[in-house]
Amino acid sequence: MSAEPMILTAAIVGAETTRESNPAVPYLPSEIAAEAVRCWEKGASIVHLHARRPDGTPTQEAALFGEAIELIRASCDIIIQVSTGGAVGMSGEERCQPLTLAGARAPEMATLSCGSVNFGEEIFENPRPLMRDIAERIRAAGIKPELEIFDAGMMDEARYLHRKGLIDLPAHFDFVLGVPGALAAREDAIDYLLTQLPEGSTWCVAGIGRFELPMVEAAARRGGHARVGFEDNVFLSKGVLAKGSFELVEAAADIARRCGRRVVSPCEARAILGIPARA
Ligand code: KMH
Ligand code: ZN
């Protein structure tokens, strides 16, 4: 019997990590695209995208996402997932700009945060009207959502969105664990969230900071998928900066294989997630 497939997502930019914490954080579309391709070479089948201005400040400007997406697609078939979370303090309108991209620049997936949460010393605001609005826009664009779960009650909010007819279930969930102020990166947190997972759903874990790689192993052992990259963590090991998110993808792929999992291609990941195949 062949090993159970495992999808690796590379979150290579984010909105918070800067070159002060790791000089290899990509800012320009060309840098973002080159890093996405390196991650694909190491086994990532999804890239989770944010955008930056040349000075590193976060932006959700569609043109910058579009430029990066075109460059990525010129080199590989990795699944493109855009952020609708953006950065703390952005308006809903601002956050949703990448959903307007069409044709060769259209994303295949987009994140949908399932509630507000303390985010370090700040608040990542996702009041219900905004959450419903973003869900509606993702649906209208024909994009597969990834439901971002930062805290336990967000599993209930996912079901609320389903009752409102705004998302389909089963769905794909991302448990983002270890954000200061939110649900901790602990194995028992994953186990609880799994008791709340709608039947037939797929799930991924993104561990923040030093919990990133341990959470890959926890997910691998439980049949889940995993996300790594500079958005969540910039260290390969204690005190050792990663040269790029690609090194974290490589480490995650090693962990997956050691746990008896098979790291899948974007093509197989599309089939698992119910995303149409690309020509
Ligand atoms: N930057 C965080 C405030 C997402 O991409 O959907 C939100 C975030 C979530 O990164
Ligand atoms: Zn993000």
Task: Express each pLDDT in 96-128 by its tens digit.
Answer: 999 999 999 999 999 999 999 999 999 999 999
Find the ligand nearest to 114 CA. Answer: 1
- The Cβ of residue 15 has, within 10 Å, a number of other Cβ atoms equal to 20
279, 271, 272, 270: which is closest to 81 by C-alpha? 270
2 alpha carbon – ligand 1 mean position (Å): 35
The single-letter DSSP state of residue 211 is G
Q: What is the pTM of this model?
A: 0.98
90 alpha carbon – ligand 2 mean position (Å): 13
Contact 158, 173 (CB under 8 A): yes
- Residue 179 is predicted with a pLDDT of 98
- Nearest-atom number in ligand 1 for the CA of 15 is 1
- Nearest-atom number in ligand 1 for the CA of 111 is 6
Architecture of domain 5-273: Alpha-Beta Barrel (3.20)
What residues flank ion ligand 2 with Cβ within 5 A?
83
Find the ligand nearest to 17 CA. Answer: 1
Domains in the chain: boundaries: 5-273
Task: Express each pLDDT in 196-233 by its tens digit.
Answer: 999 999 999 999 999 999 999 999 999 999 999 999 99
- Residue 1 is predicted with a pLDDT of 56
What pairing do the DSSP bridges indicate for beta strands 51-52 and 46-49?
unpaired
